[in-house]
Structure 1
Amino acid sequence: MKKHIISGLAAISMLAFTSSAAAAEGVHTVKNGESLCDIGKANSVSVLDLMKENGLKSHEIHPGQTISLPERDVSEEDKALLAKLVQAEAKGEPYAGKVAVATVVLNRVDSDEFPDSVKEVVYEVSNGHYAFSPVQNGEINNSPSDESKKAVEEALAFRGQGQGSLFFYNPDTSSSSWITSTDTVLTIGNHVFAK
């Protein structure tokens, strides 16, 4: 009998724990020294979405404040794929260039001119050509560095705040006359970012 009571209490406490964990999902309590950017990176959501979700007019937050987390629209699988693309496209480039490459993909996802998911953007084929050469040459299958993964998290946190670049190219290796006719937004390392 005592064994059944203990088992019953254990089951009830597991249910209570599961319910409170489910209730806490989607909520973050601000820690001392934490910024919206930190929260965005840790949860793969944009700062703008955090502000909108919580009715914030500025980036100011306080320790102990409860922040509702918006739903993620980039899956863990898509984040991993994006990190692989960043590694393949921006290996040897400065960290800011890696973030900018990830940002181009996210800008395409957000644009009406391109597919609606990271996977569809990365694997897009137009006029018989892949949008990104690492898909064609197989480099997309290599493991990403920690820096490439970190660049993806930063791009997700700053999503929607960049200069809207939809393309990037290396002017020393590009043979496309069309890409050089796009409007240059910025240059980082060996890449020109354009829209």
Structure 2
Amino acid sequence: MTAPQSKASAATTHQVQSGDTFWIIGKKYGVPVKTLMSTNKKSSHLLFIGEKLVIPQTITAAEMDLLARLVNAEAKGEPYAGKVAVASVVLNRVDSSLFPNSISSVIYQKDQGYYAFTPVQNGAINSPADASAKAAVKEALAFRGMGKGSLYFYNPKTAKSTWITSRQVTVNIGNHRFAK
């Protein structure tokens, strides 16, 4: 099944199979569990085999690809959990009043002449995303709104900014430190 190309496209439906959970369905389609439950007017996690769920389109295929390419470039060689966390940082920024309100605006944001993300500055974002980065984006989307609110990440071995190292650390994964 192909994903709709824009937010205006018709919603997809999913017929619940044995073993399905909101988490599994959310990861499959890249939809926040909270949004999936809300869209389907569910107040509990109970699902019934054969039940049809509406799968809302929360981001476009182009946004998903851009985010996956950023994750691929920023977290290459990092554990899968680190890739999910990098994608979550971008989504948390979109949801924060401190940052622009779209994935592309967050990724391409400039401050004092520099892009917020090194792969944008050096062109690495233009390389295709691998399967792991794409899966990490879908997982981050499913997890959206349930994490620790990280807005930043950095490598403590290479970070030169005293400002970034002063931020409240939320988690360490691989070579990255995540903070808010």
Equivalent residue letter for 1:178: W
Equivalent residue letter for 1:42: K
Instruction: With the length of structure 1 as denominator, give the TM-score of the two structures.
Output: 0.84
Q: What SS does structure 1 have at the residue aligned with 2:178?
A: strand
Q: What percent of counterpart residues are identical?
A: 53
Q: What SS does structure 2 have at the residue aligned with 1:67?
A: strand
- 1:69 — aligned with what? 55
Q: What SS does structure 1 have at the residue aligned with 2:48?
A: coil
Equivalent residue letter for 1:150: A
- The 2-side partners of 1:98 and 1:155 are apart by 9
- The 2-side partners of 1:114 and 1:82 are apart by 16
- Counterparts of 1:38-77 in structure 2, within 5 Å, are 38-70=24-56, 72-77=57-62
- The 1-side partners of 2:58 and 2:103 are apart by 10
Equivalent residue letter for 1:84: R
Equivalent residue letter for 1:167: Y
Count the aligned residue pairs: 171
Over residues 44-71 of structure 1, what are the superposed CA-to-partner deviations in whole Å (9 max), with x where a residue is unaligned?
211010111122222221211221223x
- The 1-side partners of 2:80 and 2:154 are apart by 16
Q: How far is the alpha carbon of 1:163 from its aligned partner?
A: 0.5
Q: What SS does structure 1 have at the residue aligned with 2:144?
A: coil
- 1:179 — aligned with what? 164
Q: What SS does structure 1 have at the residue aligned with 2:162?
A: coil
- 2:155 — aligned with what? 170
- The 2-side partners of 1:85 and 1:27 are apart by 29
Q: What SS does structure 1 have at the residue aligned with 2:101?
A: coil
Maintained 8 Å contact 2:87/2:136: yes
Quote the RMSD (CA, aligned, Å).
1.3
Answer with 1 or 2: which has the greater Rg: 1
- 1:81 — aligned with what? 66
Which runs of 4 or more aligned residues in structure 1 lie more than 6 Å from their structure 2 counterparts after TM superposition? none
Q: How far is the alpha carbon of 1:153 from its aligned partner?
A: 0.6
Q: How far is the alpha carbon of 1:73 from its aligned partner?
A: 2.8
- The 1-side partners of 2:162 and 2:147 are apart by 25
Q: What SS does structure 2 have at the residue aligned with 1:168?
A: strand
Over residues 75-110 of structure 1, what are the superposed CA-to-partner deviations in whole Å (9 max), with x where a residue is unaligned?
100110111100111000000000000000000011
- The 2-side partners of 1:186 and 1:135 are apart by 24
The question of 1:156 aligning with 2:103 is answered: no
- The 1-side partners of 2:11 and 2:87 are apart by 27
- 2:175 — aligned with what? 190
- 2:107 — aligned with what? 122
- 1:10 — aligned with what? none
Equivalent residue letter for 1:162: G
- 1:137 — aligned with what? 122
Unaligned runs of 5+ residues in structure 2 are: 1-9
Q: How far is the alpha carbon of 1:25 from its aligned partner?
A: 4.4
